């Protein structure tokens, strides 16, 4: 194995520890048959690691044809539905609580608006769907005049957004929903889905003819990942480990053209004539500077963490200060049963 996560470096709550222990003891996870590479269709792989950050057994592999890294084989659909409905929030926690998470989602929504304006793609949008909406903060940041809806698994999260007037629905209703939307957002969602190509096709089927998909996924080469050990990026809920090139190729396989993408893996897609991106096949090339991060000292990692935090703070003081104030104001409206 190339990588071996060190669970000793991870700080977790008692709630997380109990749920993780229960899942391991109960042999909860069930696996589907191995898949070919989603980016190129290849069937030859090398091993990357055999367990995730919490010690869950999961084989991550590297496609020798195109360099895409993903977990293979992966969990069954039934297993995933139960995991996200009953266990995900407890396993991965919610730093900052419900209101703090809602604020973070809201800030993403405002960021999407700024990016679409910058790219000249904002005008004409009048409806939005958030696939994997969690508490609905991203939708809340979009104009109230738009028709807005969100879908996710956890009924507890949906209840939060619905309590402040959002239209959040169970994921089981997504496939049969008749509406079409000008904008569909997928924030930190695609990396969770068993088949990213098929999932993008299903999501794109809810687009209006001139619609756009905005998505974010964790990036192996994202600069913000330098603030922690790259081993910690391997989570059992993340099947796919993207770079800009592999994300572009997965989108192309789904019939989507990439209008914009960066290595922080913020991307804008639309139905069209996709073009595949060249991808390095060697594992060393695929991991790129990630390998260098494995050799960085704790002091150097701490420096990059402080630099990242400083950039976020300066954003709150600058263009993002009004967004942050709006987010906090709306988050205070959240009423939780028993809170």
Q: Judge whether 240 lies within some domain.
A: yes
Task: Please list, in sequence order, all residues whose beta carbon lies within 8 angstroms of the beta carbon of residue 142, skipping any fewer than 6 positions away.
Answer: 109, 112, 113, 128, 148
Question: CB of 116 within 8 A of CB of 268?
Answer: yes
| Alpha-helix runs per DSSP H in 32-96 | 77-86, 88-92
CATH number at residue 167: 3.40.50.150
Question: CB of 158 within 8 A of CB of 152?
Answer: yes
3-state SS class at 140 = helix
Task: Please list, in sequence order, all residues whose beta carbon lies within 8 angstroms of the beta carbon of residue 260, skipping any fewer than 6 positions away.
Answer: 115, 119, 266, 267, 268
Q: Judge whether 313 lies within some domain.
A: yes
Q: What's the pLDDT at 337?
A: 38
SS3 content of the chain, % helix, strand, coil (to 5): 40, 20, 40
Q: What is the number of structural domains in the chain?
A: 1
Q: How far is CA 25 from CA 14, 18, 83, 245, 261, in A?
A: 16, 11, 15, 38, 41
Q: Judge whether 139 lies within some domain.
A: yes
Q: What's the pLDDT at 223?
A: 46
Per-residue pLDDT reduced to its tens digit, 99-151: 888 988 999 999 999 999 999 999 999 999 999 999 999 999 999 999 999 99
Q: What backbone phi and psi angles, to 5 degrees, belong to 139?
A: -65, -40
For the chain, percent of residues with pLDDT exceeding 70: 73
Task: Please list, in sequence order, all residues whose beta carbon lies within 8 angstroms of the beta carbon of residue 64, skipping any fewer than 6 positions away.
Answer: 42, 44, 45, 46, 281
Question: CB of 55 within 8 A of CB of 95?
Answer: no
Mean pLDDT of all residues in 262-274? 87
Q: How confident is the model at residue 320 (pLDDT cuts 50, 70, 90)?
A: low
Question: CB of 197 within 8 A of CB of 38?
Answer: yes
3-state SS class at 317 = helix
Full residue range of the structural domain in which residue 162 is found: 76-331
Q: Judge whether 150 lies within some domain.
A: yes
DSSP track, 266-291: EEEEEES---PPP---SHHHHHTHHH
Q: What's the pLDDT at 260?
A: 95
Q: Judge whether 6 lies within some domain.
A: no
Q: Are strands 181-187 and 168-170 parallel, antiparallel or unpaired?
A: unpaired
Q: Judge whether 68 lies within some domain.
A: no
Q: Is the pLDDT of residue 315 over 70?
A: no
DSSP track, 181-195: EEEEEEES-GGGSS-
Mean pLDDT of all residues in 307-325? 55
Q: Judge whether 99 lies within some domain.
A: yes
Q: Judge whether 168 lies within some domain.
A: yes
């Amino acid at each position: 194995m190339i990588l071996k996560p060190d669970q000793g470096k991870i700080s977790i709550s008692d709630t997380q520890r109990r749920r993780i222990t229960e899942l391991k003891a109960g042999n909860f996870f069930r696996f589907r048959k191995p898949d070919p590479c989603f980016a190129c269709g290849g069937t030859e792989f090398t091993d990357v690691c055999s367990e995730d950050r919490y010690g869950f057994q999961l084989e991550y592999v590297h496609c020798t044809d195109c360099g895409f890294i993903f977990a293979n084989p992966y969990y069954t659909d039934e297993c995933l539905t139960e995991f996200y409905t009953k266990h995900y929030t407890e396993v991965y926690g919610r730093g900052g609580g419900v209101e703090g998470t809602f604020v973070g989602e809201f800030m993403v929504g405002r960021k999407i608006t700024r990016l679409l304006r910058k790219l000249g793609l904002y005008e004409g949008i009048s409806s939005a769907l958030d696939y994997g909406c969690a508490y609905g903060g991203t939708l809340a940041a979009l104009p109230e005049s738009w028709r807005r809806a969100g879908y996710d698994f956890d009924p507890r999260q949906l209840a939060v957004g619905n309590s402040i007037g959002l239209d959040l629905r169970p994921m089981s209703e997504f496939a049969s929903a008749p509406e079409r939307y000008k904008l569909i957002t997928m924030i930190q969602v695609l990396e969770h889905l068993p088949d990213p190509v098929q999932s993008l096709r299903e999501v794109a089927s809810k687009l209006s003819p001139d619609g756009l998909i905005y998505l974010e996924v964790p990036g192996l080469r994202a600069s913000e990942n330098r603030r922690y050990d790259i081993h910690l990026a391997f989570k059992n809920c993340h099947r796919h480990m993207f770079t800009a090139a592999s994300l572009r190729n997965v989108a192309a396989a789904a019939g989507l053209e990439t209008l914009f993408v960066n290595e922080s893996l913020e991307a804008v897609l639309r139905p069209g004539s996709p073009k595949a991106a060249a991808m390095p096949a060697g594992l060393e090339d695929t991991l790129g500077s990630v390998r260098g991060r494995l050799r960085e000292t704790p002091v150097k990692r701490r420096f990059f963490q402080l630099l990242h935090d400083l950039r976020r703070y300066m954003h709150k003081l600058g263009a993002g200060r009004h967004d942050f104030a709006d987010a906090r104001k709306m988050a205070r409206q959240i009423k939780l049963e028993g809170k």
